[in-house]
Amino acid sequence: MINGALYVREMKKSIKLIVILLAVITMYVAIIISMYEPKMAKLLDDYVKMMPQLMASVGMTGGATSLLGFMCSYLYGFILIVFPMIFCIIRANGLVAKYIDNSSMVSLLCAPVKRFTVAFTQMAVLMSGIVILIVYTTILEIICAQYFFPGELDIAKLLVLNTGLLGLELFIGAICFFASCIFSEVKYSIALGAGLPTLMFVIQMLANVGDKAKNAKYFTFFTLYDSTGIIENEAGALIGTIVLFAGAIVLYTASVTAFCKRDICL
């Protein structure tokens, strides 16, 4: 199912990007969590009062009463969604479409390795990167929380919250990977793979602002990931997570199947 040599090569290519993203995530997570003290939290909440729409667009609504609620508001609306999304967009495109576009896919198909194995390996590389990002973030959050505010963090709920995030990012990765598998040219692969998630995210930001734009939330899959709903055990939020995972499975299956059946002009 997985070709070891290809997996190792691609993971090496992922590593640089992963390290950069982890560095950025580490900085944000550490800073935001350390700000959960009454004085600093008040400062952030003041920002929210000052520019409510701008802050709301990136999910920052203020007035959180628990550490996890505070994290939901200031980390899970923008930072933790966008950085893994950047990874998905860049890597998914580089794993298949780029190789077809620049013909180096020849090297992969001129070998006794099934197309299915090639596609499955590339998919595994993408998923591995996403899992590394989310698992690292989870551990980092626990360490930071325990360091700054021992005993404040509801770890069980954090795990559920990040499982949901994993579902969301796997789903975004699946969209990018699907685009990468069906197009022969990078420009189309990027147009769909980067364009669709970005557009959806912009719609989500609009919907977050509320009021008249509120109905926009029905036009974006980001609505399926409701971080506040998850920590409050809302059934809708849990169903959303399940839908994301199911959607990811469907899209990955479709991607691999499309790659196996398509004509590849090299």
Name the residue nearer to another protein (CB basis): 112 or 150.
112
Q: Select from 113, 209, 213, 238 the one that contacts another protein (CB under 8 A).
A: 113
Nearer to another protein, 43 or 258 (CB): 258
Q: Which stretch binds another protein (CB under 8 A): 6-14, 27-35, 82-90, 239-247?
A: 6-14
Question: Which one of residues 242, 249, 250, 264 is an interface residue with another protein (CB under 8 A)?
Answer: 264
* Single residue of 19, 53, 102, 219 touching another protein by CB under 8 A: 102
Q: Which stretch binds another protein (CB under 8 A): 14-22, 100-108, 131-139, 198-206?
A: 100-108
Nearer to another protein, 5 or 249 (CB): 5
- 3-class SS string, the chain: CCCHHHHHHHHHHHHHHHHHHHHHHHHHHHHHHHCCCHHHHHHHHHHHHHCHHHHHHCCCCCCCCCHHHHHHHHCCCCHHHHHHHHHHHHHHHHHCHHHHHCCCHHHHHCCCCCHHHHHHHHHHHHHHHHHHHHHHHHHHHHHHHHHHCCCCCCHHHHHHHHHHHHHHHHHHHHHHHHHHHHCCCHHHHHHHHCHHHHHHHHHHHHHHHCHHHHHHHHHCHHHHCCHHHHHCCCHHHHHHHHHHHHHHHHHHHHHHHHHHHCCCCC
15 binds another protein (CB under 8 A): no
| CB of 103 vs another protein, minimal distance in Å | 4
Instruction: Kindly list the distances between the CA atom of residue 193 and the CA atoms of 14, 18, 29, 51, 181, in Å, as whole numbers in the listed order.
Output: 18, 19, 27, 32, 10
Q: Establish if 50 lies at the interface with another protein (CB under 8 A).
A: no
Shortest distance, position 118 Cβ to another protein, whole Å: 9
How far is it, in rounded angstroms, from Cα 237 to Cα 221? 12
CB of 113 to another protein, least distance (A): 6
**Binding status of residue 257 toward another protein by CB under 8 A:** no
User: Least distance in Å: CB of 116 to another protein?
Assistant: 9
Distance CA 146, CA 150 (A): 4
**Among 20, 40, 54, 111, which residue interacts with another protein (rule: CB under 8 A)?**
111
253 touching another protein, by CB under 8 A? no
Verify binding: residue 114, another protein, rule CB under 8 A: yes
* Contact flag: residue 110 with another protein (CB under 8 A): yes
Chain residues that interact with another protein, rule: CB under 8 A: 3-6, 9, 13, 102-104, 106-115, 117, 263-266
